[in-house]
Structure 1
Amino acid sequence: MLALRWRTASCNISAFTRLAPLVLVLALVLPVGTASAAEALPDPLSLEQALELAKAHPRVAADADNLRFPRPLALFIGCHDLAFTGARDGDVRRNQAWASSLIDANAAQRLEVMQRFFDVLLADLSFARDNEAMAVAFVQLDRARARAELGQFSPLRVAELDAEYQMIRRQRAASEAAQRLTRSLLAQALGRPDTLPSKLTLPKLPGDDLKPPKLEDVISAARADNAHIRQLAEELKTKEARALLDMDIEQNALELITRLGLLGLIAEQTETEAYWRDLKLDESRTLYELEAQADLGFSMSQQTRARRDQEQVALCQALTLAELDALQGKPVR
């Protein structure tokens, strides 16, 4: 498994490399705002640099404002739904890394920065996937039109391919818009709403030997080392209220540990599919060189999709680990 991880790492990097021209375009079209040179964001921006900016956010300095000015709900990496249902936007609160009432304002802000950072990475990968899929669909449609003029394709088949192309084109437009929206949400989380980040550095992600912690260890650490939980416990006046707090701690810990275990299984599945897509692309490349296949577009687009799914799982594993750290009173990093 570890060897497979290393074998696929170079392909992950190449998938991000394909985004280089797009990143340059974003750097030109995204507004830079009125921030002074001293306030400019690092370019490229790393996760460590982004997390450092969290402590200066107005939400941390004025915790009470969180109730009057709620955080935006838009998310592009729903880790809870990915692990438990595979759906999207199913459980909004559980998909928000910062939503727990058991962490303080600083930890919540750092978790939001991390999740928004990952949202941008996922949006870029989604655009790469849809961009390649649209290119493949256009080539198929163009060929069908040419063959229809020769009487080799029916108008019905051309109309079907055109409808498929338009659907993929619509999805590509949505993915392109998501790139801008995720960057805007990240800028808000950083406290720099007028300066949208263009280039991000891919952070170090968990390896294959990741093991979920024991439930009793997490609960014990949350009660002993989480200063926010200790403060909540001191403010509660009745044993019933303290019992509810204990139940909340146990449930939060159980859900995060269970999610981490499920993500491990999904990681194995996505790695297997990515490896298959690598082999399929090699086969298609061989057939192309032998002039037995017209192009490599479909195999390349499927490989890009598999890489995107693989990275999503790895990002969710990193985010879930950070949530567990926050619950236990550890720094989010």
Structure 2
Amino acid sequence: MTILPRTRSLAVLLILWMCGVPPVAVAAPEPAAEPALPEGEAGVAPTSAPEPLPEPLTLEAALALADAPHPTLARAAAGVEEARALQGQAAAGDDLTVRLNGELFWTEPNEVSPYDHDDNRLSLLASKTLYDSGRSSALEAAAEHGVKGEELRYLGSREQRRLEIMRRYFDVLLADTAFARDDEALAVAFVAYDKARERNELGQLSDIELLRLESGFRAARSTRVASDADRRAARSRLAMALNRPDDLPGTLLEPDLSGNDRELPVLEEILARTLAGNSTMLALRESVQAAQREIEAARALRGPTLSGQLELNEYSRDTSTRDDARVGLVLSVPLWQGGRVDAALAKAQARLHRAQAELEARRLELRQAVLEAWQEIANLRERRESMVALNDYRELYLDRSRALYELDVKTDLGDAMVQMTDARFKTVETDYRLALAWARLDALQGALIERSED
């Protein structure tokens, strides 16, 4: 049979109404644009070989690569993408559903029936949920909080990337300084051992004293070899942090550490900013709100649902009891669902309790982390003052030893040079630790990276 044109027009209008689309001619839709990822996320999948590291390398240039492709950022970006996919899934939960059903039956009609054995049916079915007791809106809100939480975790990963690069950059500089110190010590030990051999051959030095100096020389050489290996290992760790495993950095320039001189705020002020701005803390708050919305969605399973339905049918048999078209509203009120709703509600409540526990645990961790970073900064500032005094003393001591050496007076010039290099190592180590402590404190407060207003 043929469906009447008026019925077909009514069906099209109803489908458009349930879709929320005005009944006008619509051109074919263009492919949807990909949603924008958080800042820096677009570089997760590199398409070409990266530029070689600059020579010499600066800390600013190294930190500029913090948002470049790296597995850590890729993993965090995947979390954002998954959360957005779940958000799209939640938003499409009450979309219009259109399906085509085909039914083929072979029957054995009775003797008075005018029909043959075929009893077939072709149906076009359209349905859309119009009301579901707030379940869809609750799921969409939960998904939105999930997206915000994953974006904040992505931001936390970017912060940790910067801290890691700073740490590895300073490790290279310290390894170079340690090597210079140990190389100086080896040179001094070799000169002493070489002179001792000459004196031993002349009978002016005992064998036991010669062996003592030889032992010191070989120990210094072993230490220098280890320091040289540490230089390469430190550069390899920095290259890994920059995701350039085949591009080991060469010369590194000393960074500007003027930020070490800023005033240290009181502990309570830093703690308040940390609890309000820490990226992980904010992400866990979003998880708590998402779990609360999921509880609302689970409770909505007990409520009624209202849906609009349209059905167009084509039969192989025409009877008075069969309809060519059906349009209507369906109200469904659950009377008994077994334990399904209780189980869904219990699951959502368990997720809420876990999110709340993780939030409180993170709060305690942050309080301790802030205290330790604050104390470390205070201690290192005091130690830096002592390092200034130590360097002044070593410089004067070296000048005196050099003056005595020029006067052909027996002196410990070599040892003075080694001690001067060691004092420099301790000084720069203190400065680097102080810079890292400040950066870590900034990251705890969510101030290491400038955040967008949205």
- Please give the range of the TM-score, normalised by the shorter of the 2 chains: 0.7 to 0.9
In structure 2, the CA distance between the partners of 1:257 and 1:196, relative to structure 1 (3 Å rule), is same
SS at match of 1:128: helix
SS at match of 1:134: helix
Residue pair 1:119, 1:182 contacting (<8 A) in 2 also = yes
Residue pair 1:60, 1:106 contacting (<8 A) in 2 also = yes
How far has the Cα of 1:267 moved from its partner?
1.2
Partner of 2:443: 326
Question: How many aligned positions are there?
Answer: 264
How far has the Cα of 1:301 moved from its partner?
1.3
Map of 1:197-208 to 2, 5 A cutoff? 197-206=249-258
Letter in 2 for 1:139: V
2:53 to 26, 41, 44: 41
Partner of 2:208: 156
In structure 2, the CA distance between the partners of 1:202 and 1:212, relative to structure 1 (3 Å rule), is same
Cα RMSD over matched residues? 2.4
SS at match of 1:147: helix
Letter in 1 for 2:410: Q
Deviations 1:265-311 (A, max 9, x none): 22122221111100001101111121113673221111011001100
2:418 to 286, 290, 301: 301
Larger radius of gyration: 2
How far has the Cα of 1:208 moved from its partner?
7.3
How far has the Cα of 1:50 moved from its partner?
0.3
SS at match of 2:66: helix
Map of 1:153-302 to 2, 5 A cutoff? 153-206=205-258, 209-236=261-288, 237-238=352-353, 239-293=356-410, 296-302=413-419
Deviations 1:175-206 (A, max 9, x none): 00011110010000001111000011110124
Map of 1:310-325 to 2, 5 A cutoff? 310-325=427-442
Q: Distance in 1 between matches of 2:403 and 2:52?
A: 48
Partner of 1:122: 174
* Bigger mean CA deviation after superposition, 218-227 or 178-187: 218-227
Residue pair 2:62, 2:165 contacting (<8 A) in 1 also = yes
**TM-score of the superposition, structure 1-length normalised?**
0.74
Letter in 1 for 2:182: D
In structure 2, the CA distance between the partners of 1:38 and 1:244, relative to structure 1 (3 Å rule), is closer
Q: Distance in 1 between matches of 2:260 and 2:277?
A: 28
**TM-score of the superposition, structure 2-length normalised?**
0.55
SS at match of 1:293: coil
Unpaired runs of at least 5, structure 2: 1-47, 80-152, 289-351
How far has the Cα of 1:151 moved from its partner?
1.2
Partner of 1:59: 72
Q: Distance in 2 between matches of 1:319 and 1:208?
A: 9
Residue pair 1:147, 1:153 contacting (<8 A) in 2 also = yes
Residue pair 2:77, 2:154 contacting (<8 A) in 1 also = no
Higher relative contact order (CA 8 A, sep 6+): 1
* Bigger mean CA deviation after superposition, 293-302 or 171-180: 293-302
Letter in 2 for 1:47: L
How far has the Cα of 1:210 moved from its partner?
4.5
Residue pair 1:266, 1:313 contacting (<8 A) in 2 also = yes
Residue pair 1:59, 1:65 contacting (<8 A) in 2 also = no
Task: Report which of the two has the higher share of strand.
Answer: 2
Residue pair 1:284, 1:293 contacting (<8 A) in 2 also = no
Task: Report which of the two has the higher share of helix.
Answer: 1
Q: Distance in 2 between matches of 1:162 and 1:232?
A: 61
The percent of aligned pairs where both chains have the same amino acid is: 42
Partner of 1:28: none
In structure 2, the CA distance between the partners of 1:283 and 1:207, relative to structure 1 (3 Å rule), is farther
Residue pair 2:76, 2:154 contacting (<8 A) in 1 also = no
Q: Distance in 1 between matches of 2:404 and 2:449?
A: 49
How far has the Cα of 1:330 moved from its partner?
1.1
